[in-house]
Amino acid sequence: MIRISLLIIVILCAATAFGADNSDKVPYTRTENVVYKVTDGIGLILDVFAPKQNPNGKAIVDTLSGAWHSGQGQVNDHFRGGIFDIFTSRGYTVFMIRPGSRTKFTVEDMVQNLKTGIRWVKAHAEDYGIDPDNLGMTGASAGGHLTLLTVVTPEEGNPDSEDPLMRFDTTVKTAAVFFPPTDFITWGDSKPNFERLADILFPHGLAGRSEEEIEAKARQISPAHRVEKAPPPLLLIHGDADAAVPLQQSHRMVEEVEKAGGEIELIVKEDGGHPWLTIPEEVAVMADWFDEHLK
């Protein structure tokens, strides 16, 4: 019992340490709660983590979402994973974008919010000293899902748009994600549970929806079913002991991207769950990927 109590204290202390970003020791300066979009009177926000030393002029869009929520718990997870420390120490500026939560937004809403966030980053590239054509993306779990769906459904900019943000496209150069859901039609060895997805499929749930409508929408929000041409290079990292998102989901994405002639790499973490304790080591692998693909 004493051992368990001590372990809980250690975990809580570690969480506090990871969540604290006001120390002189961190390699970044953080600008919090920048509004990139207002929808239905709700301000959607992003945080900017700018490297203190040796900025490389490149940026990473970090999709903040876990179980399709983007709250403080997810922020703490990203601190624990070393996302901001590792990327900014390599010179990357990180834009942590909150696409909204499932209590208010569907997946399609979240993807549109995320795309607006990307447009905002490109519109403000000069302000942060970054190349708008040299962006990478990352995310984990639901954040990985939203990232992949955004990457495989790029939108062009309209130079004549009255909305300055809409003049920019939503393309990125590469993406690296952890354990993403990619196919809501085939889910491991089980049938998909559409009831659990109800509020991310339709604004008012499944009431009045036919089986055909539900399956069509599930397919619509599945990145593996939206690969129509080779996407930018992709890196997927997934544990083989993941009880929340089956490893099969990453295999499905690999299958479809390779079929389209795209570049994709899957790293399987032995005994990796959802997530695992040494995940900063894999974040460093992602940083290597970005070093190679963002030039």
The first and second tokens of residue 260, run together, are 């389209």
Residues 226 and 153: beta-carbon distance below 8 Å: yes
Mean local confidence (pLDDT), 89-99: 98
Number of domains in the chain: 1
Does residue 246 lie in a domain region?
yes
Does residue 209 lie in a domain region?
yes
Does residue 138 lie in a domain region?
yes
Does residue 12 lie in a domain region?
no
- Going by pLDDT thresholds of 50, 70 and 90, the confidence category of residue 22 is low
Please state, in angstroms and as integers, the Cα–Cα distance from residue 283 to each residue in 105, 118, 236, following that order. Answer: 28, 21, 11
Residues 78 and 46: beta-carbon distance below 8 Å: no
Find the CATH number of the domain harbouring 121. Answer: 3.40.50.1820
Does residue 97 lie in a domain region?
yes
Does the predicted TM-score (pTM) go above 0.85? yes
What's the DSSP call for residue 225?
A: G
What pLDDT was estimated at residue 13?
A: 44
pLDDT in tens, 226-261: 999 999 999 999 999 999 999 999 999 999 999 999
Rg (alpha carbons) of the chain, rounded to whole number? 19
Does residue 192 lie in a domain region?
yes
Domain that holds residue 230: 22-293
Question: What is the rounded CA–CA span in Å between residue 152 and residue 217?
Answer: 16
- What one-letter code names the amino acid at 252? R
pLDDT in tens, 155-175: 999 999 999 999 999 999 999
- Going by pLDDT thresholds of 50, 70 and 90, the confidence category of residue 23 is low
Question: What is the rounded CA–CA span in Å between residue 196 and residue 282?
Answer: 30
Mean local confidence (pLDDT), 187-209: 93
In 3D space, the residue among 96, 117, 80 whose CA is nearest the CA of residue 275 turns out to be: 80
Does residue 6 lie in a domain region?
no
Could you tell me whether strands 42-51 and 93-97 are parallel, antiparallel, or unpaired per DSSP bridges? antiparallel
| Three-state secondary structure call for residue 293 | helix
Does residue 82 lie in a domain region?
yes
Question: What is the rounded CA–CA span in Å between residue 271 and residue 183?
Answer: 22
Residues 178 and 214: beta-carbon distance below 8 Å: no
HSE-CB of 206 using CA atoms within 13 angstroms: 15
| Three-state secondary structure call for residue 6 | helix
Q: In what order do the strands lie in the sheet with 59-63?
A: 28-39, 42-51, 93-97, 59-63, 135-140, 174-178, 234-239, 264-269
pLDDT in tens, 257-279: 999 999 999 999 999 999 999 99
Longest Cα–Cα distance in the chain: 66
Instruction: Spell out the long-range contacts of 98-101 with Cβ–Cβ below 8 A and sequence spacing 24 or more.
Output: 98/44, 98/45, 98/46, 98/64, 98/65, 98/70, 99/44, 99/63, 99/64, 99/65, 99/70, 99/146, 100/42, 100/44, 100/70, 101/68, 101/69, 101/70, 101/71
